[in-house]
């Protein structure tokens, strides 16, 4: 692996550059928190209720963040310490970042994320691909989101074919991401993880309804994710 590439990826200069948008994101989160607390005070929401909501929201945010931490650990040996930190802290996602990096590396004729032939030029290309591709969503939102949301509300209220089509489109997108994992027999771990997570969320939701404990239902999704990941660890040791 190109040592100049590693020096660039873990340089102090890159750390300082990355630190700027991360600080902006942290400040933005603090400002939203202050606005939320101020509005809660105006609405005269009791402090015990507000405290409970904040604790539950914090716990609910931590568990779904585990896949992001795992992806961070995977990307750091390839992209250094700072670019994965930036991408997964501000605008990126675990699936997008790993996919964008892997596709860029393969476009240079290498095998993928685990290839030892990455150079400085490939690293820079990965950063550009990640950055430019992710800009499409926010840019379109700035100019089109308001009109799109207005039109979508109109379609839903009127009913008919278009209302069904928007729901079908969403289901199709989920199927596109999930079905390949369920039918890829060459990767049994993916099937095990998907099936375990799906069964787990159904069982947890059923348990929540039977016991009347809403907390179980609220945490069914993140808990099913953890159980799905844990099942692959067990399956790896058994197989």
pLDDT tier, 159 (very low <50, low <70, confident <90, very high otherwise): low
Take residue 145 and report the two structure tokens written for it.
Answer: 């989101």
Instruction: Check residues 219 and 41 and name the one with the higher pLDDT.
Output: 41
End-to-end C-alpha distance for the chain, whole angstroms: 32
pTM over 0.85: no
Domain spans of the chain?
A: 3-134, 159-238
Is the pLDDT score of 1 beyond 60?
A: no
What does the pLDDT look like over 105-119, one tens digit per residue?
999 998 888 778 888
pLDDT recorded at residue 31: 95
Is the pLDDT score of 165 beyond 70?
A: yes
Is the pLDDT score of 2 beyond 60?
A: no
Which sign, positive or negative, has the C-alpha torsion 200, 202, 205, 207?
A: negative
Take residue 227 and report the two structure tokens written for it.
Answer: 């159980």
Distance CA 196, CA 43 (A): 42
**Mean pLDDT throughout 182-208?**
87
């Amino acid at each position: 692996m190109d040592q100049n590439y590693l020096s660039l990826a873990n340089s102090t200069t890159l750390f300082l550059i990355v630190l700027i948008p991360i600080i902006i994101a942290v400040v933005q989160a603090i400002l939203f928190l202050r606005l939320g607390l101020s509005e809660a005070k105006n609405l005269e929401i009791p402090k015990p209720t507000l405290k409970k909501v904040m604790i539950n929201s914090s716990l609910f945010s931590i568990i779904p963040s585990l896949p992001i931490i795992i992806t961070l650990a995977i990307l750091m040996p390839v992209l250094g310490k700072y670019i994965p930190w930036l991408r997964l802290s501000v605008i990126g996602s675990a699936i997008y970042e790993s996919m964008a990096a892997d596709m860029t590396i393969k476009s240079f004729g290498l095998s993928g994320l685990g290839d030892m032939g990455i150079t400085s030029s490939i690293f820079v290309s990965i950063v550009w691909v990640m950055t430019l591709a992710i800009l499409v969503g926010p840019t379109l939102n700035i100019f089109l989101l308001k009109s799109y949301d207005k039109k979508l509300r109109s379609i839903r209220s009127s009913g008919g074919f278009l209302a069904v089509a928007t729901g079908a489109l969403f289901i199709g997108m989920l199927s596109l991401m999930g079905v390949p994992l369920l039918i890829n027999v060459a990767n049994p771990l993916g099937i095990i993880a998907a099936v375990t997570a799906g069964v787990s969320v159904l069982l947890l939701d059923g348990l929540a309804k039977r016991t009347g404990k809403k907390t179980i239902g609220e945490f069914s999704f993140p808990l099913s994710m953890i159980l799905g990941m844990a099942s692959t660890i067990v399956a790896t040791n058994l197989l």
